[in-house]
């Protein structure tokens, strides 16, 4: 992969961000709002008569980590949608940039956004709710990496659908993560789900990661078995997602669907 070509995707989005106040607002506001809403809810529960194990840590930790999934998935898909909105898809395909370099550039840009948002959320959680993100321990790093791998796999699937269907599937860039979230046991244990939903939840790496996070916050040791299960599932979803996106990309070129973006 040519790093210079990949970083052009970062530069393009950076220049647009600098001159678009609405995008700056979107980058800074939503992590602040999400954490504040869940943190205040957890504080209300803790201040009442409801007996729950460290609800602030559970809910704030979940909000912080779910932001990793949503931001990575959304960032990759939006990087492509920007090219469709500006009618630049044909120019992109005519350039020497490979699909791998485009995805790499989108990941670099998404990583920058993720760092900004996690910094905001971590500082807010620390100052307002006295919650330290790294209280989860060193296990936080591999668990976050596993979340990012699943987010990339999800982005590949959505990208494939957008390539095949066109603008009619654009809303998937924002909506699919919301469909996956209830089955990921982000804010509650898998056991509260109906039986059929528990089967689906166990097939998602995210449920194993969030269950592991709660086990650590409850005072247990890092559940490395759950991590390896999540990584194995990530590998399966990544392979399927990459194959599907590549197949849809070849279909777009072979059948001339690129004219949708002219």
Q: If you average pLDDT over every residue of the chain, what do you get? A: 79
Q: Phi/psi at 193 (nearest 5 deg)?
A: -80, 155
- Please choose, from the candidates 111, 155, 168, 175, the residue with its C-alpha nearest in 3D space to the C-alpha of residue 245: 155
Reply yes or no on whether the pLDDT at 44 is more than 70.
no
Q: How many residues does the chain have?
A: 262
Map residue 138 onto helix, strand or coil. Answer: coil
Q: Is the pLDDT of residue 101 over 90?
A: no
Highest mean pLDDT among 26-35, 36-45, 109-118, 194-203 belongs to: 194-203
pTM for the structure as a whole: 0.81
Euclidean distance between CA atoms 17 and 25, whole angstroms: 10
CB-based contacts of 210: which residues, under 8 Å, 6+ apart?
62, 65, 184, 185, 186
78-95 core/surface letters (b: 16 or more CB in 10 A; e: else): bbbbebbeeeebeebeee
Task: Report residue 200 as tokens.
Answer: 């689906």
Which of these, 166, 206, 252, lies nearest to 69 by C-alpha position? 206
In this structure, of 58-72, 120-134, 228-242, the range with the lowest mean pLDDT score is 120-134
Residue 35 vs residue 158, higher pLDDT: 158
Tens of pLDDT along 108-154? 888 888 788 778 777 777 777 666 666 666 667 788 888 888 999 99
Distance CA 74, CA 49 (A): 38
Does the structure show a pLDDT above 90 at 233? yes
């Amino acid at each position: 992969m040519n790093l210079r070509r990949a970083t052009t995707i970062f530069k393009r989005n950076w220049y647009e961000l600098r001159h678009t106040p609405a995008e700056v607002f979107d980058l800074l506001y939503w992590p602040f709002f999400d954490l504040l809403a869940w943190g205040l809810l957890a504080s209300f529960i803790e201040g009442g008569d409801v007996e729950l194990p460290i609800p602030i840590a559970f809910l704030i930790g979940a909000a912080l980590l779910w932001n990793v999934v949503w931001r990575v998935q959304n960032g990759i898909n939006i990087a492509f949608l920007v090219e469709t909105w500006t009618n630049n898809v044909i120019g992109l395909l005519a350039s020497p940039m490979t699909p791998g370099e485009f995805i790499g550039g989108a990941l670099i840009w998404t990583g920058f956004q993720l760092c900004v948002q996690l910094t905001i959320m971590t500082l807010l959680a620390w100052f307002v709710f006295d919650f330290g993100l790294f209280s989860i321990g060193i296990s936080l790093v591999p668990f976050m990496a596993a979340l990012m791998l699943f987010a990339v796999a999800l982005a590949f699937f959505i990208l494939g659908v957008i390539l095949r269907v066109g603008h009619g599937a654009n809303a998937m860039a924002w909506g699919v993560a919301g469909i996956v979230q209830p089955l990921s046991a982000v804010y509650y244990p898998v056991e509260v789900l109906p039986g059929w939903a528990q089967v689906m939840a166990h097939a998602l790496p995210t449920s194993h990661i969030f269950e592991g996070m709660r086990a650590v916050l409850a005072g247990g040791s890092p559940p490395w078995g759950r991590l390896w299960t999540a990584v194995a599932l990530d590998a399966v979803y990544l392979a399927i997602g990459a194959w599907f996106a590549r197949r849809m990309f070849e279909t777009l070129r072979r059948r001339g669907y690129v004219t949708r973006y002219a």
